[in-house]
């Protein structure tokens, strides 16, 4: 039978290894995170309207419908249709503080999610600012 000191040492080693694993795999400075952040920034800068979405999401459909109503064609990144979609969604969480979709930018300005987009539309903010 193992002594309590040996068992305690083994438990501490497992906890340390687990902690190290999570620190290394969840680091915001990982290459995939940096690549995703660069992709997001380039997408926002290169497109008048950029929406990070999921194809099946009703809130995303609602946000996209706002721009259809305005006769605008947004650049849409469907995260569920990309191999790196989860990485991009995690990077969105780092950039704006939430991982939910949709995430909408107009002319480089962060609008927000579905409710924020509808509110900006209903207030006239999207129409009056030349979007």
Q: Is the pLDDT of residue 13 over 70?
A: no
- pLDDT, position 30: 64
pTM for this predicted structure: 0.75
Percent pLDDT > 70 in the chain is: 73
Looking up residue 80, the CATH number of its domain turns out to be: 3.40.30.10
Counting runs of H as helices and runs of E as strands, what totals does the chain give?
A: 6, 4
Structural domain contains residue 2: no
Task: Give 31 or 41, the one with higher predicted confidence.
Answer: 41
Structural domain contains residue 1: no
Instruction: Specify burial of residue 101 (Cβ count, 10 A radius: 0-12, 13-18, 19+).
Output: buried
Residue 25: pLDDT band with limits 50, 70, 90: very low
Residue 129: pLDDT band with limits 50, 70, 90: low
Structural domain contains residue 107: yes
**Number of domains, the chain:** 1
Which structure tokens are listed for 47? 């497109």
Residues in the chain: 131
Residues contacting residue 116 through CB under 8 Å, at least 6 positions apart: 104
Structural domain contains residue 14: no
Residues 73-107 have pLDDT tens digits of 999 999 999 999 999 999 999 999 999 999 999 99
Structural domain contains residue 22: no
Task: Give 131 or 77, the one with higher predicted confidence.
Answer: 77
Q: Is the pLDDT of residue 117 over 70?
A: yes
Sheet bearing 109-112, strands edge to edge: 75-78, 49-53, 103-106, 109-112
Residue 127: pLDDT band with limits 50, 70, 90: confident
Mean pLDDT of 111-124: 97
């Amino acid at each position: 039978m193992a002594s309590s000191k040996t068992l305690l040492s083994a438990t501490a080693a497992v906890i340390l290894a687990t902690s190290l694993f999570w620190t290394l795999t969840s680091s915001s400075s990982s290459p995939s995170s940096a690549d995703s952040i660069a992709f997001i920034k380039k997408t926002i800068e290169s497109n008048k309207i950029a929406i990070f979405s999921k194809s099946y999401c009703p809130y995303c459909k609602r946000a996209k419908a706002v721009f259809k109503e305005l006769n605008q064609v947004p650049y849409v990144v469907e995260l569920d249709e990309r191999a790196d979609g989860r990485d991009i969604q995690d990077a969105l969480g780092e950039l704006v503080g939430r991982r939910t979709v949709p995430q909408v930018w107009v002319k480089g300005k962060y609008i927000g999610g579905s409710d924020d987009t509808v509110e900006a539309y209903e207030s006239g903010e999207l129409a009056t600012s030349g979007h």
